[in-house]
Amino acid sequence: MSPKTVTDQEILPGSRVLVTGASGLLGRSVAQKLVDLGYEVTTLQRSSSSIDGAQEVRGSLSDPEAVTRAVEGQHAIIHMAAKVSVSGEREEFVEVNIRGTERLLEAAWSAGVDNVLHVSSPSVAHGGSSLVGEGAGAADPEHAEGNYAQTKAEAELIAETYGSAGMNVLIIRPHLIWGPGDGQLTHRIVARARSGRLPILGSGAALVDTLYIDNAVEAFVAGLRRLPAIHGQRLVLTNGEPRPIGELLMGIAEAGGAKRPRMRVAPAIAKAAGLAVEKIWASASRVTEMPGDGEPPMTKFLAEQLSTAHWFDQRRTRESLDWTPSVSVDQGLEKLSEHVRRTGGVL
């Protein structure tokens, strides 16, 4: 018999882990990394995840039978599946983010799965105000803004309920993931910059925390490994390098092969329009939305994120995960730039 892979301190390679939502960049990367490390990985998503060495359960969180099958025999679950866009019917968000989480955790409970890493978002705890060195407060569905944040807030509370019932639940809230292969933030910034339509708001000095994709993957692996020892916490996850948003946007645009966005000084515009800065950004981005951009962009959400300070206290996160980011923002920009050069302009 192989040595025990799950202790009251650690979940080690060899353990069976279910990853939901493995079709996105983060889910796919985490699942792949776990496979590489020797975990027995199962993925649950609608389309094929095509991860070498992982077992696949095809299906959605709305399918109780698929969920039951997926959780069977797992040591741990990383629950990443969610509806992340900012528009769409509220019902869709409720179905995936709230009911989906309920179904998954209920099935896990019945199947005796002890460990759940629930992936959430810092937006579940805050409204639109600026966040300066913020901790990880409780999820607050009433004050979270928009369908995504509200339903994710509910989902977190559900996860915490299972946690207080005895399940080992760890909540991780990554903030603004970017890097090669990111079809969300990175893609949008570069695409806009390439078409010369990336405005920078006001002074562009608002400090914002981001998270380079490789660091995110390593942190999730660390979180899974240490889950039995550190469960019961909420951890915001970032690079811990708050940077002025203008500098970040310029850096990502340039790394993506676009010209540096021209600084647009908002106060004059804001004055003319009689609107607050973030509203200008929000409405400006709606108006200039490229037709056929596919999935409705996160522009309004992004606007709020990017026009005011959003950075977090990372001390507890790093201590709990026993992890520090291995790629700095500057190194990340270089990696992105290299990637774009190598692929001839593809992000």
Build a one-symbol-per-residue string for 45-74: x at contacts with other proteins by CB under 8 A, - elsewhere: ------------------------------
User: How far apart are alpha carbons 174 and 5 in whole angstroms?
Assistant: 27
Considering only 179, 241, 303, 325, the residue that binds other proteins (CB under 8 A) is: 241
Build a one-symbol-per-residue string for 171-210: x at contacts with other proteins by CB under 8 A, - elsewhere: ------------------------------xxxxxxx---
Q: Does residue 314 belong to the site contacting other proteins (CB under 8 A)?
A: yes
Considering only 181, 313, 335, 337, the residue that binds other proteins (CB under 8 A) is: 313
Helix/strand/coil for 182: coil
Helix/strand/coil for 30: helix
Query: Of 34-42, 50-58, 100-108, 312-320, which part binds other proteins (CB under 8 A)?
Result: 312-320
Considering only 308, 320, 325, 332, the residue that binds other proteins (CB under 8 A) is: 308
**Cα angle 326-330-334, degrees, rounded to a multiple of 5:** 95
236 neighbors 269 (Cβ within 8 angstroms): no
Query: Of 48-56, 117-125, 224-232, 302-310, which part binds other proteins (CB under 8 A)?
Result: 302-310
Chain-centroid distance of CA 14 in Å reads 26
Q: Is 148 marked active-site?
A: yes
The token pair at 319 is: 């201590």
User: How far apart are alpha carbons 312 and 127 in whole angstroms?
Assistant: 15
Taking only Cα atoms into account, the Rg of the chain, rounded to an integer number of angstroms, comes to 20
Considering only 13, 14, 244, 257, the residue that binds other proteins (CB under 8 A) is: 244
Number of residues that bind other proteins (CB under 8 A): 34
If the CB atoms of residues 124 and 207 are measured against other proteins, the closer one turns out to be: 207
Q: Does residue 251 belong to the site contacting other proteins (CB under 8 A)?
A: yes
Residues 6+ apart with CB under 8 A from 90: 147, 151
Considering only 229, 263, 269, 275, the residue that binds other proteins (CB under 8 A) is: 263
Q: Cβ–Cβ contacts within 10 Å for residue 137, how many? A: 12
33 neighbors 52 (Cβ within 8 angstroms): no
Shortest approach of other proteins to residue 311 CB, angstroms? Answer: 7
Shortest approach of other proteins to residue 212 CB, angstroms? Answer: 15
User: How far apart are alpha carbons 254 and 243 in whole angstroms?
Assistant: 16
User: How far apart are alpha carbons 16 and 345 in whole angstroms?
Assistant: 38
Query: Of 22-30, 138-146, 160-168, 313-321, which part binds other proteins (CB under 8 A)?
Result: 313-321
Catalytic choice (39, 148, 162, 212): 148
Q: In the chain, how long is the greatest CA-to-CA distance?
A: 73
Residue 127 to residues 135, 181, 304, 308, 312: CA-CA distances in angstroms?
A: 14, 29, 9, 11, 15
If the CB atoms of residues 61 and 207 are measured against other proteins, the closer one turns out to be: 207
- Which residues would be at the binding site for other proteins (CB under 8 A)? 130, 132-133, 201-207, 240-247, 250-251, 260, 263, 265, 267, 277, 307-309, 311, 313-315, 318, 330
Active-site residues, by number, are 148
